[in-house]
Amino acid sequence: MSRRVSAITLALLLLAGCHSPSPSPPTPSDAPASSAQAPATLAQARRGFATALTQRTSAQRPAPTPPAGIFTTIRYPSPAGNLVGYLTPDPGDGQRHPAIIWITGGDNNTIGDVWSEAAPDNDQTAAAYRKAGIVMLFPSQRGGNDHAGPKEGFLGEVDDVIAAAEFLAAQPWVDPARIYLGGHSTGGTLALLTAETTDRFRAVFAFGPVADIVEYGARHVPADLGQARERALRSPLYWLDSIRSPTFVIEGEEGNRDALDQMTARNRNLNNRFLLVKGTDHFATLAPINALIAQKILADTGARSTLTLSQAEVAAPFAR
């Protein structure tokens, strides 16, 4: 069933703060509305909104200590307080390097072992970036690790990622004009929502996000998704027009293909590129495509990003 919704209908739902009787998608309405009434961007729609959480949860799990020389444990300031992260240490060469914030999947609020070698068909560590000499920051978010929380499930976490970018930009070994954002699965969903909220990132890479947050349900979202505004502000599908940075959404055909198809069909924004990779799944896309992106980041040195990813390039590692 399609989850597409007209911009005017969504605007009415957001402005009214109305309740949806079920988690089914909003339906078109004959009610008149002026386009001036519609929140034009996700950032505008989020402004002043306070979520009503159905539960208050936190991981209550300290972040393990990474090996010396690979990552250092840091604390970065966010609107929720100081949050833990893993950061590539200063290489000591006096240079400013490109950097990427990477958001892991699963419980994306919490960080863990992202340094051990992973199987090439399921490398969720995104190690290709650090191996290429790109600075990495893995930020936890509110309610993750030892932060008291609560988790908000793809809402306040967007603000945490933006705060992590400001922390990263202040590091003397990081080029503040060449900060990228990437994530996988739930991390890909959060990366895409962040791209819809800010143009702080030079380019964004979202692997395997969902289109509508109801696909996660209570497992990852501690809010009543029967309330239209709670749902809409967490769902990337409805805010693709807000994106102002080059953004690449990537998924294997055996992964969240329906979500990719929904967003591809809805998209009218030339900043966005949707790439379905045949012959692979939700996890095996990561290692070879991150290696490809890493090399493109190193070559992306102009005043503005010229980074591109073609369908042929992402398909090449999986061609039979």
CA angle 201, 14, 260 (to 5 degrees): 50
pLDDT of residue 38: 62
**Listed residue (152, 270, 250, 149) closest to 206, CA to CA:** 250
Strands 174-184 and 81-87: unpaired
**Both tokens of residue 289?**
């495509």
217-228 per-position pLDDT tens digit: 888 999 999 999
Name the residue with higher pLDDT: 303 or 37.
303
165-209 per-position pLDDT tens digit: 999 999 999 999 999 999 999 999 999 999 999 999 999 999 999
Q: Which CATH class is domain 7-318?
A: alpha beta
285-314: average pLDDT: 98
Distances (CA, A) of 8 to 5, 56, 320: 8, 33, 45
* Residue 294, pLDDT above cutoff 60: yes
- At 37, the pLDDT band (50, 70, 90 cuts) reads low
**Listed residue (105, 103, 101, 144) closest to 122, CA to CA:** 105
Name the residue with higher pLDDT: 16 or 217.
217
The residues near 30 (Cβ < 8 Å, ≥ 6 apart) are none
pTM: 0.90
272-287 per-position pLDDT tens digit: 999 999 999 999 999 9
Domain ranges of the chain: 7-318
Q: Which amino acid is at 271?
A: N
* Residue 27, pLDDT above cutoff 50: no
